[in-house]
Amino acid sequence: MKNVILIAIWFGVFAASAARAQVPPVDYPNVCFECHKDKKELLAKKHVHKVYQEGRCPDCHNPHASKHEDLLNIDPLKLCVSCHEKMKEKQAAPNVHKPFQGGDCQACHDPHATDNEKMLTSGKPELCTRCHKQAVEWLKKKYVHDPVGKKCYDCHDPHSSGNPRILKDSVPQLCWTCHKQTPKLLKAHAANFSPKVNCLVCHNPHASDQKGLLMSKQHKPFAGGKCDDCHAVNKNQLSAALKSDMKELCFKCHKDMKEAEKLPFRHIMDKPGACMNCHFPHASENDSLLRLPPKELCIGCHLKGKTEDEKKHFITHPDFNCNRCHNPHGGDNDKYLRAVGSELCMQCHTKSHGSHPLGDKAINPMTGKPLTCLGCHKLHNSDFPKYLPKDPKKELCLQCHKK
């Protein structure tokens, strides 16, 4: 019996070996080129992906079937980082470039071959301006920062960073890598110039029609060179110190804002930083010297930590700035609303649908108060069209009409 088993095992090993011997080695990549003739031409490019150059097509692609596009062996990002291991750490950074965050390495890199360095799909500035359309307008300005359109990655990390806007370093340290603190630079700025000052308070980092890349909208004292309107003078030298408490200093000219302090609902005016939480004191590219475009500015605080999808879901009026409904400084109403109830909506929606009674004609059974537009519609976070919180075919109406 033992001999029979040994013979059977021997025959099995022999048969398996014979079967393997009958399978000829696959001639990669030529077998692939029989159909993918266009890919063969890529080998003549200046920069060829090593794995492709060596004909190791199966390292990335399954020759038969896959649940991934282009017959990739695994998820695209996992596939790339399986070799480019340093990119795993980049994925964990606080600020990640959107294509990289979404695993779309091919948005910037060609996986096979290209004439551009680092396997980039196109040259500069097209690679960046393809998504960052605003950069096209920057290049038309009178004064353009040298890296713009040529070496965006001098300032920005193309993958991720611990700094906002994926900057390679914090400001002003990033600026000092090129703009050395020479006597000429110090002379061009105010006395007691601090190397810790944020350059972006006055300068546009990309382009401007103003000499010195100064931002286009400038605070009157700054534009007129009257720094001592706000800053103290010590022993005939201008100081970075303010003449008084920041808020009181602003109120000296902006007297209408002083009146806003009397409102029952005030927006961050009592918090540290006061006016500078939203406004730049010297110059800006935004109206009212705002630090960012209005909606972007509000979202930065009020939706901090939310994903892009969560932000989009929250915003029900995508074409409006927040100050269309909210007073940015304060008001008589909660949430700084410019009006309450239906009155707020009818500032824009002058022709209501009229199919449902409002006000004293209809009492909202859920609140016991007169029905307003907000009885059926939501200002934010709606799940259905027309800013409805529930399914209008049934669930929405049954909240009140139970019989």
Do 110 and 157 sit in the same domain of this protein?
Answer: no
Shared-domain flag, residues 65 and 134: no
Where is the domain boundary, 214, 248, 283?
214
403 residues of the chain, pLDDT tens digit each? 555 555 555 455 545 554 455 557 889 999 999 999 999 999 999 999 999 999 999 999 999 999 999 999 999 889 999 999 989 889 889 999 999 988 899 999 999 999 999 999 998 788 999 999 999 999 999 999 999 978 899 999 999 999 999 999 999 999 999 998 888 887 777 655 667 778 888 899 999 999 999 999 999 998 988 888 888 877 676 667 888 888 888 999 998 888 888 899 988 877 777 888 999 999 999 999 999 999 899 998 899 888 888 888 898 888 888 999 999 998 999 999 999 888 898 888 887 776 788 888 788 888 888 888 888 888 898 889 889 989 988 888 888 887 6
| 371 is a domain residue | yes
Query: Does one domain contain both 108 and 175?
Result: no
100 and 129 together in one domain: no
Q: Same domain for 36 and 105?
A: yes
HEC-encoded secondary structure of the chain: CHHHHHHHHHHHHHHHHHHHHHCCCCCCCHHHHCCCHHHHHHHHCCEECHHHHCCCHHHCECCCCCCCHHHECCCHHHHHHCCCCHHHHHHCCCEECHHHHCCCHHHCECCCEECCHHHECCCCCHHHHCCCCHHHHHCCCCEECCCCCCCHHHCECCCEECCHHHECCCCCHHHHCCCCCCHHHHHHCCCCCCCCCCHHHCECCCEECCHHHECCEECHHHHCCCHHHCEEEECCEEEEEECCCHHHHHHCCCHHHHHHCCCCEECCCCCCCHHHHCECCCEECCHHHECCCHHHHHHHHHCCCCCHHHHHHHECCCCCCHHHCECCCEECCHHHECCCCHHHHCCCCCCCCCCCCCEEEEEECCCCEEECHHHCCCCECCCEHHHECCCCCCHHHHCCCCC
Asked if the structure places residue 340 within a domain, the reply is no
pLDDT at 169: 96
Mark whether 126 and 210 lie in a shared domain. Answer: yes
- Residue 246: inside a domain, yes or no? no
Structural domain includes residue 263 = no
Residue 304 inside a domain? The answer is no
Residue 234 inside a domain? The answer is no
Model confidence, pTM = 0.73
Chain CA centroid to CA 328, Å: 23
Does 92 reside within a domain? yes
In a domain, 53, yes or no: yes
Domain boundary among 103, 121, 139: 121
Domain span including residue 383: 352-398
Check residue 124 and give its pLDDT.
Answer: 79
Residue 30, token pair as written in the block: 């030529």
Q: Are residues 128 and 70 in the same domain?
A: no
Structural domain ending residue among the three candidates 164, 183, 214: 214
Q: Are residues 158 and 79 in the same domain?
A: no
**pLDDT given at position 192:** 55
Domain count, the chain: 3
Q: How far apart are CA 44 and CA 114, in angstroms?
A: 9
Judgement on whether residues 109 and 147 belong to the same structural domain of the protein: no
196 and 131 both lie in a single domain? yes
Are 108 and 134 in a shared domain?
A: no
Q: How far, in Å, CA of 135 to CA of 122, rounded? A: 16
pLDDT at 17: 53
Contact 374, 341 (CB under 8 A): yes
Residues 77 and 144 in one domain: no
Structure tokens at 284: 């800006």
